[in-house]
Structure 1
């Protein structure tokens, strides 16, 4: 009986958390080869961008961690905008970005520099 009660409580808590917390949306990322700028848009809806936000972003250049940034809040309640200069990136390189929500989940995207 205790197991059933524990399982029920755990299930309710996990479903409740998923209503209020969610991973980042579909990340948009582009790299401008002229000025070596990575432009990133991370959709992430929140009622309070200082309580529920993108808290960590990691940028990898050819599988080597190049940038890591932690946040205490999000740009606004809808999205996190980022711009990073990556002077060493050249055609054929791979840029991978991982964005993490402070409550639940993460999302990753990758592009090849042209």
Structure 2
């Protein structure tokens, strides 16, 4: 009887563990971040490449954070992704100038993140 309860307990623990961690197994960080700054319009365009089957579902780019010369400038949260392959956003940086450094960070709501640095020419 005790041996049966132990095996049954192990099976239940395994099933619960599988359910809890199965979402993380299919999660992944953004594969690439593309960022471009237009000096004339002062607009930063960001594309976080992140392939998901259902961008309005439960797996998407949740956050984009941007720093200008190490200073926090933008923190934007998302509830969905703009398409199944990419999260896109644009930001106005009126104070950005040649020689500045922009850091772009993107976070998946399930697992992983990516950061890139862009030097303004």
- Same fold, TM exceeding 0.5? yes
Structure 2: any 5+ residue segments left out of the alignment?
1-9
Q: Does 1:109 align with 2:116?
A: yes
Q: Does 1:73 align with 2:80?
A: yes
Where does 1:29-108 land on structure 2 (aligned, <5 Å)?
29-50=35-56, 51-108=58-115
Q: Distance in 2 between matches of 1:110 and 1:12?
A: 37
Q: Distance in 1 between matches of 2:109 and 2:21?
A: 17
Structure 1: any 5+ residue segments left out of the alignment?
none
| Coordinate RMSD, CA, aligned | 2.2
Cα distance, 1:19 vs. partner? 3.6
Give the aligned length.
109
TM-score by length of 2: 0.80
Which of the pair has more CA radius of gyration?
2
TM-score by length of 1: 0.84
